[in-house]
Structure 1
């Protein structure tokens, strides 16, 4: 959807989409992040550039953790909040999350290595994945990872063997599919029965029996993830009810209350100003989730379990901004039939294609999921008449779109700096070298200072990976 219409303030920076520190400076109206002008950041670190507001990320992490733990305590239990590292993980970000009291969720041996390098207590790490290798499992067990999530029956045997060899009793959760699917993009769906993650809920008793057969394993509860970019708690309500409905049978097998329940994450954020009116408040989500679990536990006559959650996007997403430099612009007339087919384009007779120096290699989400983003002119403000724009990348691909539709001042031109909001999650994580474009660096900003937390790549580094093979006679 278009995020601004004719007559709107095209220089406005929406604090519900951009980091709270983002604001226009008095000189030329340049966008500043944590007090640093956008052009100063690109001059120092290059363009395109991922920028993460450290204070915003820390504040949000603390807000989410405190809300979920406060509401859990209200219904007589506890909550552990894992930061879902898949959203964006590097040593510095893992350290921030650890210092703000969050545990860390990893989904590969590489992510585990990052969390350990950051000094995260292994007992506060959860290890996910539908195809964890025997080597990864052994490494996690030996490192003392607190909980490994079992995704398939085969993994039960592998984890048990690794724990036995290490002389440890490994805590495990069983990932199940509740059959509840939150309203989201099909590729983001992670709770259908017919998909690669987890096991059908009806299989839980049999699979828990298999876990209990191994002295080296300690079963601590079920895990379920119902989707991503979720704006309502209805799906969580039904999923929690179905999961807790199985707990009485599991308690009979175990001979004791099941201590934990992990409801996953997937809390949504606003990518545009229009979404901001619908995006949920974490305080409301936390209150509703706590009530949902308490009510379901009473319904099925089980103790309220300790809760675990795995938010990622909702913690790091809004703290990130990507800066680009405009290379070319191209105006394309909109045919009447085309405009009528897309109501968001009504009122404009043409679309301005604005090409930037990045694209789908640094933000694959528009191509993968049709994701919406908001863009603002960052090196200056402008009173020019509005233009309907599509911000596109430099890649040899028609689907190389950064911002499908927004409105910018019509005088946007080559050399301008653009800022795309809410790129903290799943942008660097999904980045590629398509067309041999080096990945940009990631810079953290805080209190007027910037520092690189992930080095960017160079063409020489990419070339160094190529091997010239000589065939033996």
Structure 2
């Protein structure tokens, strides 16, 4: 059995169970490929994050980084937990509106927000707009003046700290498309511009150093850098922040070789660092915000597939093909992300071979798992790839004109369809004939 699973996730029939529901029953009822979420696991992780802040006695916000997985039902779940969300597009904001998510608990990110999306955010009275560049300051200023509106803003800054992760996931270094650079003085120049804008209420600063990070040192360094930056601003300009937002990027375990600390332990280290540094710099401890995405939904997600064809060539590792692939999980093809899988009808079975789990898409690189030990399998068997809750469905495509999968939420023995499977009619709905 994969070390990613516990004995409680195997039911009396010996099958994989997702929060009390047999994975084979889910596959039979909703078809495959299927993305299933353990809702209890999502709620529990949010509660663990909250507990850290409350134990440290600081004001806080747990803001779900919804680019990891954004649907109406997901936003409703976060609302039930009285959480915040951050959105990075008009589409995510619109989805939150359709979910009746409280707009005052929305942060709007992005390095190139179009005018129409900024207007949408202002009209909806979102809680805060994260300013990313000088162009955006001018653009938002004009929109606020035109609408006679006011809004909370924060500056996204780059602290000059590079996370030890894939280069595509690094965002906090000086050479980044995101944010105002601290070292060059850009961030302080941006602060002066914002403070001169009577319609902008400057809440604080935000930084995000990367994703899928296993080491706590980078977060502590970033937290200290943010405190030092705002302390310098306080000394030089009289500005005192209400919020320090340290972003997210807390790593999770995808395979047995991954060894991250618990996501809440990252947060505990960050909070303690901020409290110590603000005391040293004679600042009041501000609210501390985090923006976890992957660590909330990643481990809660399962991708169920049905095995189809198999290719065996002497001396070459077999290919076991499934009915999904890079269209519903591009991460392995895009940046060699690794996962583990189990046979849903017997996750405890001992492996007898190591195979490649191949997708059905017309690309040689459509391999979901390169080295997967499995028991004997046959066409029609259901396999479950573990920890696929983040950036799988949200990055899904219709490549090869394949419909995107359905999504179900499972909680305490009950399953609910929250995203319907696309049909062939959906694929051509926007097409126009010559």
Return the TM-score normalized by structure 2. Answer: 0.95
Cα shift at 1:331: 2.7
Cα separation, partners in 2 of 1:251 and 1:169, compared to 1, 3 Å? farther
- Residue of 302, 305, 317 corresponding to 1:321: 302
2-structure distance, mates of 1:104, 1:382: 37
Q: Which residue of 2 aligns with 1:395?
A: 361
1-structure distance, mates of 2:347, 2:60: 45
Cα shift at 1:362: 0.3
Question: What secondary structure does 2:395 align onto?
Answer: coil
1-structure distance, mates of 2:64, 2:347: 36
Structure 1 unaligned segments of length 5 or more: list them.
1-11, 335-349
Q: Which residue of 1 aligns with 2:413?
A: 448
1-structure distance, mates of 2:298, 2:348: 27
Q: Which residue of 2 aligns with 1:345?
A: none
2:230 and 2:239 in contact (8 A); partners too:
no
Cα shift at 1:214: 1.0
Cα shift at 1:13: 4.8
Cα shift at 1:22: 6.2
Cα shift at 1:21: 9.0
**Given the alignment of the two structures, is residue 306 of structure 1 paired with residue 287 of structure 2, yes or no?**
yes
2-structure distance, mates of 1:80, 1:381: 38
- Residue of 33, 38, 46 corresponding to 1:53: 38
Cα shift at 1:452: 0.9
**Given the alignment of the two structures, is residue 146 of structure 1 paired with residue 132 of structure 2, yes or no?**
no
Cα separation, partners in 2 of 1:146 and 1:412, compared to 1, 3 Å? same
Cα separation, partners in 2 of 1:226 and 1:251, compared to 1, 3 Å? same
**Given the alignment of the two structures, is residue 235 of structure 1 paired with residue 196 of structure 2, yes or no?**
no
1:212 and 1:254 in contact (8 A); partners too:
no
Cα shift at 1:205: 1.1
1-structure distance, mates of 2:279, 2:358: 53
Structure 2 unaligned segments of length 5 or more: list them.
none
After superposing the two structures, state which structure 1 stretch, 222-231 or 155-164, moved more: 155-164
1-structure distance, mates of 2:224, 2:289: 16
Q: Which residue of 2 aligns with 1:204?
A: 187
Cα separation, partners in 2 of 1:186 and 1:332, compared to 1, 3 Å? farther
**Given the alignment of the two structures, is residue 181 of structure 1 paired with residue 166 of structure 2, yes or no?**
no
1:67 and 1:282 in contact (8 A); partners too:
no
Cα shift at 1:333: 4.3
Return the TM-score normalized by structure 1. Answer: 0.87
Q: Which residue of 1 aligns with 2:9?
A: 23
The number of residue pairs the alignment matches comes to 432
**Given the alignment of the two structures, is residue 404 of structure 1 paired with residue 370 of structure 2, yes or no?**
yes
Deviations 1:401-454 (A, max 9, x none): 111212101x21111100000011100000001111100010111222211101
- Residue of 364, 388, 393 corresponding to 1:423: 388
- Residue of 24, 37, 46 corresponding to 1:39: 24
2-structure distance, mates of 1:367, 1:24: 30
Q: Which residue of 2 aligns with 1:4?
A: none
Q: How does 1:46-445 map to 2 (within 5 A)?
A: 46-71=31-56, 73=57, 77-201=58-182, 202-252=185-235, 254-275=237-258, 278-334=259-315, 350-380=316-346, 386-409=352-375, 411-445=376-410
Cα separation, partners in 2 of 1:159 and 1:69, compared to 1, 3 Å? farther
Question: What secondary structure does 2:257 align onto?
Answer: helix
Cα shift at 1:381: 5.4
Question: What secondary structure does 2:422 align onto?
Answer: coil
